[in-house]
Structure 1
Amino acid sequence: MFKNLLFVAAFCVITLGCSKDDPAPQDSTTQQDSTDDDTTNPPDPDDGYTIADPAFVTGSTARFSMTNINTSISEIGLVYATTPNPTTANETLVSAETIGDLHLVISMLEAETTYYVKAYRKTGSEIEYSNEITLETLSARGTGGTFSGDIVLLTQSEIDAFGRERYINISGSLTVAHEGATTDPIVDLSPLNTIESVGTSLAIHRTTRLTTLLGLENIASLTQGLTIVENTKLRDLQYLENLTSSQIGQLYIIENDILEDISALQHVEIVERLLVLGNPLLETIEIPELRTVNFDVEIRNNSSITNLNGLENLTTVGRELTIENNPNLLTLGGLIALQEADVIHILRNDSLTSLDGLDSLATVSGLVIEYNDSLETLEGLSVSGGSLEVDAITIWENHNLTSLNGLSSVQGSVDSITIVYNLSIQSINGLEGVTQVNYLGIRELPELQNLDGLEGISNITEAIILDNLPRLENIDGLNSLTTIDGNNFRIKNLPLITNVDGLSNLSSAPSSIDLDFEDNIALSDFCGLNNLFIVSGATARLDVSGCAYNPDEQDIRDGNCSL
């Protein structure tokens, strides 16, 4: 077990004096500066400027720990070179912070090379240097072979200890995670830079001090997943660029507070699931080679995403594609290559005005468009020169949507059509290609004036519900309907309709069905049902209440179809 490998990495913390910016070599002995009487004696303890020997050295990196409590310091960092006495004229690593315990990792060093390192600090225009430390980088490639099994690393000490083994491969999973309060937070993954493959999955979870994935740059393959979750200081996924295995399993990017860029995933082509959730600073999803997601895609709660550019080669989603609650999403243009998905959910994207970008979509079992307050048109669903196969369509509470014209590519039989709570829809033109539907529900559309667009429907196999359509003037758009096979027929709260002539071609309905007309206060003419009850002799029941005339089925058979 790995726990038997862990040990405390001891290093000497040296309190170092500082010299003025001077090219002459310095050592740790007391010296008098001939210019200004400053000395290289250790500073007063209140000054607090200290540097440690390298906490960890690899073939290409070296990590230093420093402490500074002097609030007058404007810049602090490291200088280094392959020759003695480096200054800011050589390579420089500037700390992002100046106060407290600082962890700086020098990267891109040459393997098996001697380097000379100093700390420096600026006060105004004045630069002071610490004494010089010498380090020797290790060989570039690991020497530890394969670690068998899964490994979970919860502290920096555990990462350092595991890194000293210099493994090349991990047969199972690698998890780096912060668990609860610790005095040894994870700040540096560079000790892991000999790892070239992880047998199953890689997870970086809940780190609070980690700012970079430096140390993972040599990992080329995963098979079961990459998970980046709840890392409060991670800005990008740089150093995952060498992840070149085309299929990496599940890809989860979830609730990383300042994550801005995932373009390092440039070689990924196939994933099992893609979840990009709750990353408030992420503006786009750059996975340019992604072609197939075998199961679900969820892009939710990303407040800065404005487009889906970076997904231009995605053609297939095996199950559900959900794009939800991305308040600044303006366009779906990045989905231009998408041809197939099982179910597509587009909901609660407050700035989305159209579905442009779904033009290549040819097959989808379910299409759900809900709660998109700025959506004005469905035109992006129109397939040029082809048809769109859809089993179920739900258009629910999109308050700026005025028509269904973008559904004109939908052809043939559809399992269900549900159009509900869309406050601005005036027309349902766009459904002309539908010939059969199992469930048709049109409700709560205060601006809808007619049912034009339903003229192609001849058969409804389960249910038809028209409810609370205060401006609907007639139901003539149903005039091709000949057969109802289901058990639910309800026309309710249509205050302007006066007749049911749109049902004049209806000739078949089961005896078990109630034709329910309720609270249609102007409806006085049911002669449109003569063909059903008199010519065809249907035994369905007629249940009418709250209308201007309330006949039953026998009244129709007796010729009393209207007032």
Structure 2
Amino acid sequence: MKKFVFLIMAVFSIAACSNDDNNAVDTEPVAIEPVVSAECTFNGDVTLTSQQEIDAFAAHNYCQINGTVTVKQIDNVSQNVNLKGLEGLVIINGDFIIQDNPTLINLNGLTNLKRVKGSFRLLNNPMLFYIDGVGNLESVGNVVNISGNEMLQDMKGLEKLTSLKFVSIHNNAALQSMQGLDNLVSIDGLSIENNMHLASLNGLNALTSIGSDSQYGELTISGNAALQSLNGLQNLTSFKGMTFKLSGNTILKNFCSLQGIAATGNITTIFEAFGNYYNPTVSNINSGNCSVE
């Protein structure tokens, strides 16, 4: 397997000596960008429809793909599929779509994947239990869509993602929490819908900001039949957007985790709560009437 080189950037800070303790200089962490060889780069889109095609493509030991990668099990749909041959893949400069694979259980084989420049989509993989095989993924440039994966229970494997554009998590019947998104601090939009066993939003505890000056934010939490509280959103303190909707969560009784964002006044005119067990107003939340428990 060809070796690739990672460029490590070091930053040195020089601070003048002073007797005043207030003159301390803060330094920001510097991102380490993966750098790969042109010799292990594939130019073009790739669609892999069977284990045989995955293995044949993997034999080239590509480290970078300048295009979209789609894994979609069309041929031999009863054959077990795995991604173990793709260990060398570091960068995808396009979308990465893993869709309609009836026998895919995990994402093992993607342990070296660090960057997806486009969207990352996991769609309709009914036997996908685990996604921790992408545990070194540091950057996704566009949408993250995790939908229709009936056996997936959490988001473990996405711990290195700290900032994202739009995240859509829909129709994952066994999903119980957002664990795995523990280091996500800012996001442009978040939609969590129709995950019938989702009992908690724990895992979103680091999230402080939705939306920005350049991108209107959205928060939609709808149709999650087991969701009783919004624990996990208690550190959200900044919202810049036009949609803040909580609907159809039939046993959702506790909105107290929204007290921080409600107090800012940022959601007063756009807040919607309907079809839940309890449907407070922003005024209710601010006054402490945030729960019926």
Q: CA deviation at 1:552?
A: 1.9
Looking at structure 1, the residues matched to 55 and 183 of structure 2 have their Cα atoms a distance apart, in angstroms, of 30
- Shift in Å, 1:554: 2.2
What's the CA shift for 1:347? 0.7
Distance in 1, Cα, partners of 2:223 & 2:55: 37
Select 1:335's aligned residue among 41, 48, 58.
Answer: 58
Q: Deviations over 1:277-325 (max 9, x none)?
A: xxxxxxxxxxxxxxxxxxxxxxxxxxxxxxxxxxxxx83222311113x
Shift of 1:503: 0.5
In 2, the alpha carbon distance for the partners of 1:501 and 1:400 equals 28
In the other structure, the counterpart of 1:500 is 230
Deviation, 1:521, is: 0.8
Name the TM-score, length of structure 2 as normaliser: 0.77
Q: Does 2:41 correspond to 1:319? A: no
Secondary structure class of the residue paired with 2:95: strand
CA contact (8 A) 2:114 2:139 kept: no
Say whether residues 1:478 and 2:208 are aligned partners: no
Over 3 Å counting, the alpha-carbon distance change for 1:494 and 1:539 in structure 2 is closer
Q: Deviations over 1:321-358 (max 9, x none)?
A: 1113x4x6385365151111121111124225211111
Do the aligned residues in 1 keep the contact of 2:120 with 2:140 (CA within 8 Å)? Answer: no
Q: Distance in 2 between matches of 1:319 and 1:545?
A: 46
TM superposition outliers: structure 1 runs of 4+ over 4 Å: none
Letter in structure 1 aligned against 2:227: I
Per-residue CA deviations over 1:390-441 (Å, capped at 9, x if unaligned) read 1321001111110111111101454221011111112221000111110101
Deviations 1:194-246 (A, max 9, x none): xxxxxxxxxxxxxxxxxxxxxxxxxxxxxxxxxxxxxxxxxxxxxxxxxxxxx
Query: Which amino acid is the alignment partner of residue 63 of structure 2?
Result: Q
Match of 1:344 among 69, 72, 75: 69
How is 1:184-195 mapped onto 2 (pairs within 5 angstroms)? none
State the partner residue of 1:358.
Answer: 86
Alignment partners' CA distance in 1, 2:56 and 2:126: 22
Pair 1:467 & 2:197 matched: no
SS at match of 1:532: helix
Q: Tell me the residue number matched to 1:137.
A: none
After superposition, what is the alpha-carbon deviation per residue over 1:117-171, rounded to whole angstroms, capped at 9, x for unaligned? xxxxxxxxxxxxxxxxxxxxxxxxxxxxxxxxxxxxxxxxxxxxxxxxxxxxxxx
1-structure distance, mates of 2:62, 2:53: 18
Q: Which residue of 2 aligns with 1:443?
A: 170
Q: Say which SS state the counterpart of residue 410 (structure 1) adopts.
A: coil
2:109 partner SS: helix
Inter-partner Cα distance in structure 1 for 2:154 and 2:217 = 27
Distance in 1 of aligned mates of 2:62 and 2:123: 23
The number of equivalent residue pairs is: 242
State percent identity of aligned pairs: 24
- Where structure 2 has 5 or more consecutive residues not aligned to the other structure, the ranges are 1-38
| Partner residue in 2 for 1:369 | 98
Structure ranking higher in strand proportion: 1
Q: How does 1:56-71 map to 2 (within 5 A)?
A: none
Match runs of 1:529-540 below 5 Å: 529-534=258-263, 536-540=264-268
What is the rounded CA distance, in whole Å, between the counterparts of 1:538 and 1:371 in structure 2?
40
Contact 2:210 2:218 (8 Å CA) reproduced: no
Structure 1 letter corresponding to 2:225: P
Considering only CA atoms, is the larger Rg found in Structure 1 or Structure 2? 1
Residues 352 and 339 of structure 1: CA distance in aligned 2, closer, same or farther (over 3 Å): farther
Alignment of 1:5-24 (within 5 A): none
Match of 1:398 in 2: 125
- SS for the counterpart of 1:544 is strand
Shift of 1:513: 2.2
Cα distance in structure 2, aligned partners of 1:412 and 1:371: 24
Matched, 1:458 2:181: no
- Provide the rounded CA distance (Å) in 2 between the counterparts of 1:441 and 1:561: 26
AA at the equivalent of 1:390: V
Aligned-residue offset at 1:539 = 3.8
Measured in 2, the distance between the counterparts of 1:332 and 1:417 equals 26
Over residues 159-200 of structure 1, what are the superposed CA-to-partner deviations in whole Å (9 max), with x where a residue is unaligned? Answer: xxxxxxxxxxxxxxxxxxxxxxxxxxxxxxxxxxxxxxxxxx
> What secondary structure does 1:379 align onto?
coil
Which ranges of structure 1 fall in alignment gaps of 5 or more residues? 1-313
Matching of residue 557 in structure 1 with residue 286 in structure 2: yes
**Secondary structure, aligned partner of 1:502:** coil
CA separation in 1, counterparts of 2:261 and 2:221?
Answer: 17
CA contact (8 A) 1:346 1:369 kept: yes
The one-letter code sitting in structure 2 at the alignment partner of 1:529 is L
